[in-house]
């Protein structure tokens, strides 16, 4: 009996020990599994979280390129609008309103292979000077500063011609839109490269609507209705501001010589500068002298 009792006691102790050991081991394993799963889940989610901001940035860029909602740029509201050209092509433009809705108005046209994005840096400065601005996508263009030319893309989709002179219809449409929509008391047109030649034509044909012209790097890039730019320049009656890179003066001097309207300024910089309106970018070493000349011309129109 004593031996049997002893064996029973030993067996009971071993059974209890086995139960205790099992109780200790099972929670450890159970606790370990969720922890490993949590780490694995975190690692699996991590690329998605890192990728999400990239997708958001892409969305922001797309929104910048195809601005369809009102935005704010350096305390200025910017909205994208559309209006039709005479042939039905939809033209896209960015509207930069001044604090005073009755302030003078400038229509801004870009250079070759560019878009309204050429004026992302320039337009806010003009608004600060007291001007309402409309930066227009012409059908002859491309993309710049991360902004696609929506008018060009629409023209391509409709298989319309996208040459320099084809874009003249877009300038006329923009002029008509601004006059009918905003009825500005003073309206200026501003061109860059090929469009700087087109705005000279526009001013010669619309003396009653256009008060002044700013032309950055014009030249005899084309003929319109078998006439050169200088032929149109003879008929300009408004004040005209012409400038370019210093090395480009010869390209427009013959045009400027035909302009006799009072208050005109033909500015040749001290340093070379850049082609088109981009010469006003801060990255242009001598952008300040250009801005000084532009502001002086604008002030003379007051």
List the CATH number of the domain containing 255.
3.40.50.1820
| Residues paired with 94 in a beta bridge | 80, 135
**Domain co-membership, 99 together with 51:** no
Global pTM reads: 0.76
- In 3D, which of 282, 252, 286, 294 has the Cα closest to residue 269? 286
**Domain co-membership, 32 together with 177:** no
End position of a domain, from candidates 12, 44, 65: 65
CB of 175 within 8 A of CB of 201? no
**Domain co-membership, 22 together with 150:** no
Looking at the 3D structure of the chain, how many domains does it have? Answer: 2
How far is it, in rounded angstroms, from Cα 173 to Cα 151?
12
**Domain co-membership, 44 together with 172:** no
End position of a domain, from candidates 65, 100, 117: 65
| Residue ranges in the chain whose pLDDT is less than 50 | 25-74
**Domain co-membership, 36 together with 50:** yes
For the record, the structure tokens of 103 come out as 């302030």
Output the pLDDT for position 32.
Answer: 37
**Domain co-membership, 73 together with 202:** yes
**Domain co-membership, 85 together with 230:** yes
For the record, the structure tokens of 169 come out as 């219809």
**Domain co-membership, 73 together with 3:** no
- In 3D, which of 265, 266, 285, 258 has the Cα closest to residue 274? 285
**Domain co-membership, 174 together with 41:** no
**Domain co-membership, 175 together with 279:** yes
**Structure letter (DSSP) for residue 100:** S
Output the pLDDT for position 244.
Answer: 98
End position of a domain, from candidates 65, 99, 116: 65
How far is it, in rounded angstroms, from Cα 107 to Cα 247?
27
Cα–Cα distances (Å) from 173 to 83, 107, 250, in that order, read 8, 11, 31
CB of 149 within 8 A of CB of 157? no
Q: Which residue segment(s) compose the domain that 22 sits in?
A: 1-65
**Domain co-membership, 184 together with 287:** yes
How far is it, in rounded angstroms, from Cα 116 to Cα 137?
5
**Domain co-membership, 169 together with 296:** yes
């Amino acid at each position: 009996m004593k031996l049997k009792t002893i064996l029973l006691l030993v067996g009971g102790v071993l059974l209890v020990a086995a139960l205790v050991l099992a109780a200790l081991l099972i929670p450890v394993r159970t606790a370990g599994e969720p922890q490993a799963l949590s780490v694995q889940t975190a690692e699996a989610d991590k690329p998605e979280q890192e990728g999400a901001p990239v997708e958001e940035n892409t969305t922001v860029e797309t929104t910048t390129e195809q601005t369809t909602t009102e935005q704010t740029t350096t305390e200025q509201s910017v909205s994208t609008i559309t209006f039709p050209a005479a042939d039905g092509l939809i033209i896209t433009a960015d509207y930069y309103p001044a604090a005073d809705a009755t302030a003078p108005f400038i229509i801004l046209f870009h250079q070759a292979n560019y878009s309204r994005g050429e004026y992302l840096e320039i337009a806010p400065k003009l608004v600060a000077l007291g001007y309402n601005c409309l930066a227009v996508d012409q059908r002859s263009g491309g993309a710049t500063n991360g902004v696609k030319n929506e008018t060009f893309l629409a023209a391509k989709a409709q298989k319309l011609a996208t040459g320099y002179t084809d874009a003249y219809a877009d300038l006329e449409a923009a002029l008509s839109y601004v006059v009918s929509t905003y009825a500005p008391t003073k309206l200026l047109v501003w061109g860059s490269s090929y469009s700087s030649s087109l705005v000279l034509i526009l001013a010669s044909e619309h003396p009653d609507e256009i008060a002044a012209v700013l032309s950055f790097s014009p030249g005899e890039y084309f003929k319109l209705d078998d006439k050169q730019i200088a032929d149109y320049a003879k008929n300009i009656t408004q004040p005209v501001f012409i400038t370019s890179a210093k090395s480009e003066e010869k390209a427009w001097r013959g045009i400027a010589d035909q302009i006799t309207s009072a208050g005109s300024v033909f500015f040749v910089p001290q340093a070379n500068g850049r082609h088109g309106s981009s010469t006003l970018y801060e990255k242009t070493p001598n952008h300040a002298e250009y801005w000084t000349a532009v502001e002086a011309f604008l002030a003379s129109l007051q």
